[in-house]
Structure 1
Amino acid sequence: MKAVIFHQYGSPDVLQYTEVAKPSPTPEQLLIKVFASSINPIDWKIRRGMLRVVTGNKFPFFLGSDFSGEVLEVGKNLTNFNTGDQVYGFVKPNFGGAYSEYLVTTPQFISPKPNNLNYLQAAAVPLAASTALQALRDQANIKNGQKVLINGASGGVGTFAVQIAKAYQTEVTAVCSSKNIPLVQQLGADHVIDYTQEDFTKNGQQYDIIFDAVSNRSFSACKNSLTSQGIYITLLPSSQLIIDNVLAFFSSKQVKFLLAETKPQDLAELTRLIEQGQITPIIDRTYNLSEIIAAHTYSEEGHAVGKIVIEV
């Protein structure tokens, strides 16, 4: 089968679209024919070696987390899925394998695909939308009527975060560039701040939740923009996060860090919201799997609006 692998950390040029052995499922696994995947920033951070403490130096490395496809084989010990089922999900990025024609995984990483999405749209959802859901619902305990600010509202996680926050009936302020203002308004944002014209940490406004979906502002910078019980959430572990937690210790405000987990119940919840029309995936560009170098290069530029999808 065709897959994307790399034998050393580095630039997009280390990625190889090549022939590898087709995997075989164990009695506890399913074999998925992958129709689409998508790019998440963690993919190219792994490729660059930024997470080698977790990923180690064992090569070749198979990249890719998100997938949508069809069940081809069901392990003999499994009963919840059948051959031909249309599914989507995400595997742990540090194991990867979704940039390929076939993937073996376990039921905990998949869920039935939303009926109103095609495979390309479905592949844009799992990791980014799960991240937004778990950040707002689990870390921030989002509630009706709260004021929520999404920094990086036009990105992969941000576009889902805006829609999920609105599904919880909150007042949403989206931070993005001027060219993306119409999009985030269309997604439901009540207020929009153009970060090229205004610094949201210095305008005197306060929020119950600040979700830094691009992790480019610290708690230290945001703390005065939080209400007395406000919560700041970041997706990037860093030395600054340690300092922020020390600062938060002496405050009623909270700092939260999230690394999304695969939860079938969360994928089912996202499916419900999608099928009810409350969430729509936003796709910036679609590349073929053989164009993975160009796809990673574009993702690293940091200007993608919504998700970059890979057609397998």
Structure 2
Amino acid sequence: MKAIRYYAYGPPEVLRLEDADMPAVGADDVLIRVRAASVNPLDWHNMRGAPYFARLDMGLTRPRHTALGADLAGVVESVGSGVTAFRPGDEVYGGCGLDLVPGTTGLAEYARLRQDGMLRTMPAGLTFEQAAAVPVAALTALQGLRDRGRIRSGHRVLVNGAAGGVGTFAVQIAKAMGAEVTGVCGTGNVELVRSIGADHVVDYTKEDYTRAGKRYDVVFDLVANRGVLANRRVLAPKGVFVECAPSKGRWIGPVLGMVKVMVMPRMGFFLSRTSADDLAVVSGLIESGKVTPVIDRTYPLEETAEAVRYLERGHARGKVVVTV
């Protein structure tokens, strides 16, 4: 099969499309013919080995795992002898999450996932491209708002980075939970953010939300372009600041993250986790019409490097998807 691999840290040029072994399928595994995958910040962080602190896990001098693509959508090709939840021909979506082990990743023609892992039948009406855009980004939004932000109906929620991959899901999920949502984005994305349900939209090129005099129960920060003290100003007395944007800097970023937690006790910095149950929650929101994936661009598998390069620039409107 064809698959994206990389054997050294660096820019998108390190990514190669090459022949790879077919995934070995165990008794509880599902072999999927991948039709689409999306790229996430996780991919370019792993590709570059950044921040350097993370190389303690990823590999100090070269990548321990050589594959990319945390989420996917496709058709079940075959199943192991112990699989009862899926059968060949099923249209499915899901992913391997943060552990990008070759054979389980989406940027390849085939992938192997466990039947009890993050794998679900695709919601009716979605294309493969739309379905592939969902797992990592939507679960990041859901878990960040629900688990870290402890969002409740009637809460005032601000999403900083509302037009991005996670941000477009966050706006819609917060609205589905009954929140009053303010989205922060650039001039060119104001109408997009309004169209997906934001009650208020702040154009960051014209207004600094941290100086507007408004308070929020939850600030969900996806870009980390305002300081800790500035964000404290906009929190309600029991408000929660949730950040899932990496702190800037190859070495100092992780240290700054710890300092933020000390300065702002009601801060929740997190990485999403794989969860079949949460993917089921998102599926329900999609099927009820409350959430719709937003796709900016699609690229063929052989142009994965360009897809990652575009995402890394930081101005994608919704998700960037690779077709396989």
Sort the TM-score into its range (normalised by shorter chain): over 0.9
CA distance in 2, matches of 1:120, 1:169: 28
Which residue is equivalent to 2:14?
14
1:136-169: CA deviations, max 9, x gaps? Answer: 1111111111100000000000000000011011
CA distance in 2, matches of 1:37, 1:280: 17
Within the candidate set 191, 198, 206, 1:189 is matched to 198
Secondary structure of 1:228 counterpart: strand
Deviations 1:186-208 (A, max 9, x none): 01111111111111111111000
The TM-score, its normalising length taken from structure 1, stands at 0.95
Give the alignment partner of residue 243 of structure 1, picking from 248, 259, 281: 259
Contact 2:175 2:198 in 1 (8 A): yes
1:101 equivalenced with 2:109 (yes/no): yes
Aligned residues between the structures = 308
What are the Cα deviations for residues 204-225 of structure 1, in whole angstroms up to 9, with x where unaligned? 1100000002233343320110
CA distance in 1, matches of 2:71, 2:257: 27
Q: Select 1:283's aligned residue among 295, 298, 315.
A: 295
**Shift in alpha-carbon separation, 1:157–1:60, aligned structure 2, 3 A:** closer
Question: Which residue of 1 is the match for residue 207 of structure 2?
Answer: 198
Give the aligned residue type for 1:200.
Y
Q: In 2, Cα distance between the equivalents of 1:32 and 1:217?
A: 42
TM-score of the superposed pair, with normalisation by structure 2: 0.92
Q: SS where residue 137 of structure 2 aligns?
A: helix
Which residue identity lines up with residue 21 of structure 1 in the other structure? D
List gaps (5 residues or longer) in structure 2: 248-253
CA–CA separation in structure 2 for the residues paired with 1:156 and 1:245: 25
Q: Indicate yes or no: 2:311 matched with 1:273.
A: no
Matches within 5 A, 1:76-225: 76-96=81-101, 97-107=105-115, 108-225=117-234
Cα distance, 1:3 vs structure 2: 0.3
Residue 125 of structure 1, CA deviation: 0.6
Distance 2:154 2:64 in 1: 49
Residues in 1 aligned to 2:223 and 2:260: alpha-carbon distance in whole angstroms: 17
Partner of 1:70: 75
| Higher deviation after alignment, 149-158 or 214-223 | 214-223
Separation in structure 2 between the aligned mates of residue 239 and residue 101 of structure 1, nearest angstrom: 39
Structure 1 unaligned residues grouped into runs of 5+: none
Q: 1:39-76: CA deviations, max 9, x gaps?
A: 10110010001132221135560111110011112111
Higher mean alpha-carbon deviation, 284-293 vs 59-68, is at: 59-68
Say whether the 8 Å CA contact 2:58–2:65 is kept in structure 1: no
Tell me, what secondary structure is at the counterpart of 2:75?
A: strand
Identity %: 44
CA shift, 1:294, in A, is 1.1
Q: For residues 232 and 290 of structure 2, what CA distance do their matches in structure 1 show? A: 30
